[in-house]
Structure 1
Amino acid sequence: MLDEQTVGYSDGDIKTLEWDEHIRRRPGMYIGKLGDGSHADDGIYVLLKEVLDNSIDEYVMGAGKRIEVTIADGLVTVRDYGRGIPLGKLVDATSKMNTGGKIDSKAFKKSVGLNGVGIKAVNALSIHCEITVWRDGLTKTVRYSHAKLLEETEPTPSTERAGTRVVFRPDINLFKDYMYKDEFVIAMIKNYSYLNAGLTLVYNGQRYQSKEGLADLLAENMTDEALYPIIHLKDEDVEIVITHTNQVGEDFYSFVNGQNTTQGGTHLSAFREAVARVIKDFSGKNFDYRDIRYGMAAAISIKIEEPVFESQTKTKLGSKDMEPDGRSIQKFLNDFLGKELDNYLHIHTEDAAAMIQKIQESERERKALSGVAKLARERAKKASLHNKKLRDCTIHFNDPKAKEPERTSLFITEGNSASGSITTCRDPHYQAVFSLRGKPLNCYGQTKKVVYENEEFNLLQAALNIEDGLEGLRYNRVIIATDADDDGMHIRLLLITFFLQFFPELVRRGHVYILETPLFRVFLPKEHKKGDNFMASSTTKKRGRKKKEDSPQTEELVTNIYCYNEAQKQAALKKLGKRALVTRFKGLGEISPEQFKDWISEENIKLDPVRLRKEDNLANLLLFYMGKNTPERQNFIIDNLVVDE
């Protein structure tokens, strides 16, 4: 007898997708999430990066010192002055999967894009994609839509400088209501300039160029003053910059072959260990590695052949060896720093003295906290067995075997009602919930001792696993989910103060977000079976104005439009017409699990990232907003008060 599961399963059920259809159906495998451009890791920026990577590779190979990028009304144009794609292979190079000039690593020895996928993903996910090449006095153009070839011109004579121009428009059906944000594009352009000193990049007419490479990057991104001049070490396949500041924690940037590995990888882990070991050996003191790295700001860029990344988006390096060198990355960095950094510290004695002084200060601070920290860890360990504040998820960001670890999230909520709704409807694989009891402590001006003595802060620190840095961070996104009223805003501010005061690297690395929740629901209900009356709002139902016997007549909603401001509400009312009803959400506790499920799904969640810029002097920022109630702050509030009419 046939098993029930085999019935209806035949040869006809086995399907093979064309490469372009596979990319369009599973874009996450190639570019991560889709998004609309509101976050730096949204797919439209990955598409831009894939095109730019090819132009950067040309510069690295010594061809072309200028790249021009223009973005207007969603249309992206990238023009480089490299060698240009060989005309006879232009169609193959832009529309045949796993086809490219970097696969055998001969033409491009240390490139990011080795698999011939990047430009094809751009092609498949764009409603319009046009590639023009100038080479050997000739020019040729190919045009596509969704990777389908529309036109291929014959080579014609041209006096234009050699190079390649790619023009593409992402598909609005996939990247809904997308918009490129200058802040994210400029950050990407600046990183390319820091990693390729001497290269000129022009974005919408603005010129970007770096002379000092990673030293410029560190100077641009540090929010505290360096305690000694930035140490800049450089060789053919590695560039490293190091200094210390009075910041809390450590602040590291890492790159491989020009790719910003935001999630680190083997090279960053090896660097963290190697730099601490070399400084410890130089000092001749038995320093703890944590004390050596505390307050350190550094960046590392390495170049290796055929790098192995843990995903197509290339945010974490998996390679362990420096091919074709044969040495492990760990040994390579140990050897390099053991020679170059040790020599630097012996020559620049004043800088070395400032570094050692900072490490000793960190050591004294850690030892002063060691007793209370030990007791707090023991208490947290016992509490974690029955910790009602944390509803954990099964997949974590620090698990090297985790699938899609970037989706892992911790929602920090106020009160049991809000946490109950989120807990009921969350994705238990990727979404965890931490429930606060009332308003947390204003920790501005406190020492880290308060983190261990305050039960909520200590349990939150333990849940995140960030006591010793971000290496063990358990959730990629730390999401503050509070009401949009005065109390909710105050709690939001207190939590941000906690992170900035004690774990600013969590903010610098883009892990902290504010959950945007709608203020209104505009909807069209179905009619009752009897008459033309419409259902009451969810608020009315909660207050018990509907009798239980009426519930079978309650209809399900056919249209829901969630609005985040008054303008969106008015637009929704206009769209749905005079029969539309409105529900006003006064707090997260009022929102049903069914509605929450829609808002916190990976496809629909709206998050506002908490960012820290160089111009935001952290000490002054916290003093002004969270210090004593000064007349200056009172005047600022009065001058900037907005009253809704």
Structure 2
Amino acid sequence: MSENTTQYTEDNIRSLDWKEHIRMRPGMYIGKLGDGSSADDGIYILLKEVVDNCIDEFVMGSGKTIEISIKDNLVTVRDFGRGIPLGKVVDVVSKMNTGGKYDSRAFKKSVGLNGVGTKAVNALSTFFKVESSRDNKLKTAEFHQGNLVTEEGPLDTSKRKGTKVSFIPDEIIFKKYKFRNEYIERMLKNYVYLNPGLTIVFNGEKFYSENGLKDLLEDNNNMDDMLYPVIHLKGDDIEVAITHSKTQYSEEYHSFVNGQHTTQGGTHQAAFREALAKTIRDFYGKNYDASDIRKSIISAIAIKVMEPVFESQTKTKLGSTDMGGDFPTVRTYINDFIGTKLDNYLHKNPETAEKLQRKIMQAEKERKELSGIRKLAKDRAKKSSLHNKKLRDCRVHLGDTKNDRYLESTLFITEGDSASGSITKSRDVNTQAVFSLRGKPLNSYGMSKKIVYENEEFNLLQAALNIEDSMEDLRYNNIVIATDADVDGMHIRLLLITFFLQFFPELIKENHLYILQTPLFRVRNKKQTFYCYSPEEKQAAIEALSGKPEITRFKGLGEISPDEFQHFIGDDIRLEPVMLDKNMSIENLLEFYMGKNTPDRQKFIIENLKVELDLVEDN
């Protein structure tokens, strides 16, 4: 063995301290990083970890208000709970395995169980300050990237008791991030739905819920879309809200464990779906197919479990089978609760029971009409998936919760071979898949589910996403429409959004659908290159480069070389989320954009056309 060979000795092995470990492997603690364009990006998880501690105080009976402000990326969260014990203020936010939640008596069914939350926020922030006020004393500590900078107190104070945490996420970790109020408001609304009586004030706006999960369904759906009034059932450690949609095809579930939004379901959601089908069969005395019972359902379930086990670090899927304490299994508990309470409700509300039965029979009729064509379509999809040129898949999918990168799983939907070729060559094969459209998709407005199976493109897209029966099996966290920014590209976007709105609206409701932003211009000289997404950015780049830089106007994605494309779908990817306005029913929305040219629509087109023309003239 040559002397030059690196010696493998004890000197080669070093232990990272807690800060270094979190900063080097942030995905292990907060899921993906992102820039704030997605609801599960790291900056929102940081906020959530801090708020979770305030929620635990409220649950323990301390502090009915939480105040949150975000200004210029400085996040401040203030509760009026008991305050961190003054002698432990520094330890709680900077020492691993330190926290009050290891003592199960104090926090039996708390959210933040692993004691890592605020420590991760601290390590991933350029500025982190914690203030604890109790017993008329105030203790303050300030950190930079997890390192203690200053420590002050305890000093006398007249401030109300509680804890205040301020932080600025580190731009080295979260590149070019931006907080989106829509995502924050949605998170905060979920907190108040799960904790009736709690008030959260965010940048001056108040969030409060009187009726828990009933409010969740009513606030997030247009009442005209509901088949019957929300069924709202409550028990000691369980709460359920159920209705069916008049227009939506698929099943929609909002599930929570100990206040944690389990976006990927788990044992409690599976038990709820099973219990629902069984109870309704027993009530009507008919062996209805489970899929007919659950078709078009919009529902929410929240349970409390002692020491829950989650399948991923970000706690998006429950793995526990036991409720804890003297309770039976999660499955038995939910089955017994639904079996008794839902059955009682349907007996007492015959009008709802009748509407529900009619809906089930209608679903059964539609399913039987579709059965032949579904089988053909499935066989066709199976055959083409063996040699499917449309889908170039990736290795990690949304269901792989054991993999740190499962939240990064992305499907790009592209038009034409040149664009899909560029993306395919420059993508990350681990987390980015590409689905190629052949020309313009069909306008599916007003059509029945039959068209999804008859139209090869829609059928293959549905198969690629794996969402035919339920959202639980969705294979990609981000579905990104990547089309040219010209009139044809815009039309294709609209047709795809119509398809998702018509048949899979919860993909949009759950923030899975995005538009890929691609640069309009490249401005460069021999030393530097800027990619510009607007005329303003182009102007700023020209000024930054001085002299006479070369300016290229990109007309389509196919013109961008694979080498360049890496910049637009890598760390610096810019995504625009597709969001729904709950004040407008999906039916009305589709009618407005995709229906006949009504006077309202003509007026809208004329008013908005001017903006596009101005943009073209500027270029």
Smaller-chain TM-score bracket:
over 0.9
Partner residue, 2:468: 467
Is the contact made by 1:112 and 1:307 (CA closer than 8 Å) also made in structure 2?
Answer: no
Matches within 5 A, 1:10-49: 10-49=9-48
Is the contact made by 2:415 and 2:439 (CA closer than 8 Å) also made in structure 1?
Answer: yes
Is the contact made by 1:133 and 1:139 (CA closer than 8 Å) also made in structure 2?
Answer: yes
Aligned CA RMSD, in angstroms, stands at 1.8
Residues 132 and 400 of structure 1: CA distance in aligned 2, closer, same or farther (over 3 Å): closer
What are the superposed Cα offsets for residues 331-361 of structure 1, whole Å, 9 maximum, x if unpaired? Answer: 1111111111112112222211111111111
Partner residue, 1:582: 551
Q: Rg bigger for which structure?
A: 1
What are the superposed Cα offsets for residues 550-605 of structure 1, whole Å, 9 maximum, x if unpaired? Answer: xxxxxxxx43221111111111111122152222211111111111122212x222
- Secondary structure of 2:531's aligned partner: strand
Matches within 5 A, 1:285-364: 285-325=286-326, 327-364=328-365
**1:19, CA displacement in angstroms?**
0.5
- Secondary structure of 2:225's aligned partner: coil
**1:375, CA displacement in angstroms?**
1.4
- Aligned counterparts of 2:18 and 2:168: Cα–Cα separation in 1: 20
- Secondary structure of 2:101's aligned partner: coil
Partner residue, 1:640: 608
What are the superposed Cα offsets for residues 221-275 of structure 1, whole Å, 9 maximum, x if unpaired? Answer: 1145322221111112111111111122112111111111222222222212221
**1:38, CA displacement in angstroms?**
2.9
What are the superposed Cα offsets for residues 456-502 of structure 1, whole Å, 9 maximum, x if unpaired? Answer: 11111111111112122122221111111111111111111111111
- Aligned counterparts of 1:137 and 1:106: Cα–Cα separation in 2: 26
1:564 alignment partner AA: Y
- Aligned counterparts of 2:252 and 2:137: Cα–Cα separation in 1: 48
2:345 alignment partner AA: Y
- Secondary structure of 2:77's aligned partner: strand
Pairing 1:606–2:574 present: yes
Partner residue, 1:73: 72
Match of 1:597 among 550, 562, 566: 566
Partner residue, 2:166: 167
2:157 alignment partner AA: S
Pairing 1:620–2:619 present: no
1:168 alignment partner AA: F
Which stretch shifts more, 271-280 or 188-197?
271-280
2:265 alignment partner AA: G
- Secondary structure of 2:40's aligned partner: coil
- Aligned counterparts of 1:382 and 1:46: Cα–Cα separation in 2: 41
**1:397, CA displacement in angstroms?**
2.0
- Aligned counterparts of 2:422 and 2:348: Cα–Cα separation in 1: 61
- Secondary structure of 1:102's aligned partner: helix
Is the contact made by 2:129 and 2:166 (CA closer than 8 Å) also made in structure 1?
Answer: yes
**1:289, CA displacement in angstroms?**
0.9
Is the contact made by 1:392 and 1:432 (CA closer than 8 Å) also made in structure 2?
Answer: yes
Partner residue, 2:281: 280
- Secondary structure of 1:434's aligned partner: strand
The runs of 5 or more residues in structure 2 that have no matched partner are none
- Aligned counterparts of 2:81 and 2:553: Cα–Cα separation in 1: 57
Is the contact made by 1:245 and 1:296 (CA closer than 8 Å) also made in structure 2?
Answer: yes
2:391 alignment partner AA: L
Is the contact made by 2:37 and 2:577 (CA closer than 8 Å) also made in structure 1?
Answer: no
Is the contact made by 2:238 and 2:303 (CA closer than 8 Å) also made in structure 1?
Answer: yes
Is the contact made by 2:414 and 2:420 (CA closer than 8 Å) also made in structure 1?
Answer: yes
Partner residue, 2:244: 244
- Aligned counterparts of 1:335 and 1:3: Cα–Cα separation in 2: 71
- Aligned counterparts of 1:9 and 1:519: Cα–Cα separation in 2: 52
- Aligned counterparts of 2:87 and 2:455: Cα–Cα separation in 1: 68
**1:136, CA displacement in angstroms?**
2.1
- Secondary structure of 1:69's aligned partner: strand
- Aligned counterparts of 2:185 and 2:198: Cα–Cα separation in 1: 15
- Aligned counterparts of 1:448 and 1:3: Cα–Cα separation in 2: 71
What are the superposed Cα offsets for residues 306-344 of structure 1, whole Å, 9 maximum, x if unpaired? Answer: 122233322222222211245221111111111111121
- Aligned counterparts of 2:512 and 2:95: Cα–Cα separation in 1: 37
Residues 125 and 401 of structure 1: CA distance in aligned 2, closer, same or farther (over 3 Å): closer
- Secondary structure of 1:287's aligned partner: coil
Residues 283 and 473 of structure 1: CA distance in aligned 2, closer, same or farther (over 3 Å): same
**1:128, CA displacement in angstroms?**
1.8
Residues 401 and 90 of structure 1: CA distance in aligned 2, closer, same or farther (over 3 Å): closer
- Secondary structure of 1:154's aligned partner: strand
> Aligned pairs, how many?
611
- Aligned counterparts of 1:492 and 1:200: Cα–Cα separation in 2: 39
- Aligned counterparts of 1:214 and 1:489: Cα–Cα separation in 2: 37
Which stretch shifts more, 449-458 or 152-161?
152-161
Matches within 5 A, 1:376-525: 376-399=377-400, 401-525=402-526
Residues 180 and 476 of structure 1: CA distance in aligned 2, closer, same or farther (over 3 Å): closer
- Secondary structure of 2:523's aligned partner: strand
Is the contact made by 2:196 and 2:208 (CA closer than 8 Å) also made in structure 1?
Answer: yes
Partner residue, 1:91: 90
- Aligned counterparts of 1:167 and 1:194: Cα–Cα separation in 2: 25
What are the superposed Cα offsets for residues 495-537 of structure 1, whole Å, 9 maximum, x if unpaired? Answer: 1111111111221121111111111112222xxxxxxxxxxxx
**1:147, CA displacement in angstroms?**
1.9
Is the contact made by 1:222 and 1:297 (CA closer than 8 Å) also made in structure 2?
Answer: no
- Aligned counterparts of 1:155 and 1:182: Cα–Cα separation in 2: 35
Which stretch shifts more, 614-623 or 163-172?
163-172
- Aligned counterparts of 1:315 and 1:89: Cα–Cα separation in 2: 30
- Aligned counterparts of 2:249 and 2:234: Cα–Cα separation in 1: 27
Pairing 1:264–2:253 present: no
2:219 alignment partner AA: E
**1:12, CA displacement in angstroms?**
2.8
- Aligned counterparts of 2:290 and 2:479: Cα–Cα separation in 1: 27
Which stretch shifts more, 493-502 or 574-583?
574-583
Is the contact made by 1:129 and 1:167 (CA closer than 8 Å) also made in structure 2?
Answer: yes
Is the contact made by 1:129 and 1:166 (CA closer than 8 Å) also made in structure 2?
Answer: yes
Is the contact made by 1:99 and 1:115 (CA closer than 8 Å) also made in structure 2?
Answer: no
- Secondary structure of 1:153's aligned partner: strand
Residues 34 and 408 of structure 1: CA distance in aligned 2, closer, same or farther (over 3 Å): closer
- Secondary structure of 1:142's aligned partner: strand
Is the contact made by 2:311 and 2:402 (CA closer than 8 Å) also made in structure 1?
Answer: no
- When normalised by structure 1's length, the TM-score is 0.91
2:46 alignment partner AA: L
What are the superposed Cα offsets for residues 423-443 of structure 1, whole Å, 9 maximum, x if unpaired? Answer: 122222222111111111111
**1:303, CA displacement in angstroms?**
0.9
Which stretch shifts more, 53-62 or 388-397?
388-397
Partner residue, 1:209: 208
- Secondary structure of 1:168's aligned partner: strand
Partner residue, 1:553: none
The runs of 5 or more residues in structure 1 that have no matched partner are 526-557
Partner residue, 2:154: 155
Which stretch shifts more, 498-507 or 401-410?
401-410
Residues 272 and 2 of structure 1: CA distance in aligned 2, closer, same or farther (over 3 Å): farther
Partner residue, 1:122: 121
**1:402, CA displacement in angstroms?**
4.3
- Aligned counterparts of 1:640 and 1:128: Cα–Cα separation in 2: 42
Residues 74 and 571 of structure 1: CA distance in aligned 2, closer, same or farther (over 3 Å): same
1:435 alignment partner AA: S
Is the contact made by 2:312 and 2:402 (CA closer than 8 Å) also made in structure 1?
Answer: no
2:88 alignment partner AA: K
- Aligned counterparts of 1:162 and 1:209: Cα–Cα separation in 2: 22
- Secondary structure of 2:311's aligned partner: coil
Is the contact made by 1:30 and 1:121 (CA closer than 8 Å) also made in structure 2?
Answer: yes
Residues 639 and 465 of structure 1: CA distance in aligned 2, closer, same or farther (over 3 Å): same
- Aligned counterparts of 1:462 and 1:177: Cα–Cα separation in 2: 35
Is the contact made by 2:28 and 2:404 (CA closer than 8 Å) also made in structure 1?
Answer: no
1:234 alignment partner AA: K
Is the contact made by 2:221 and 2:585 (CA closer than 8 Å) also made in structure 1?
Answer: no
2:310 alignment partner AA: F
- Secondary structure of 1:155's aligned partner: strand
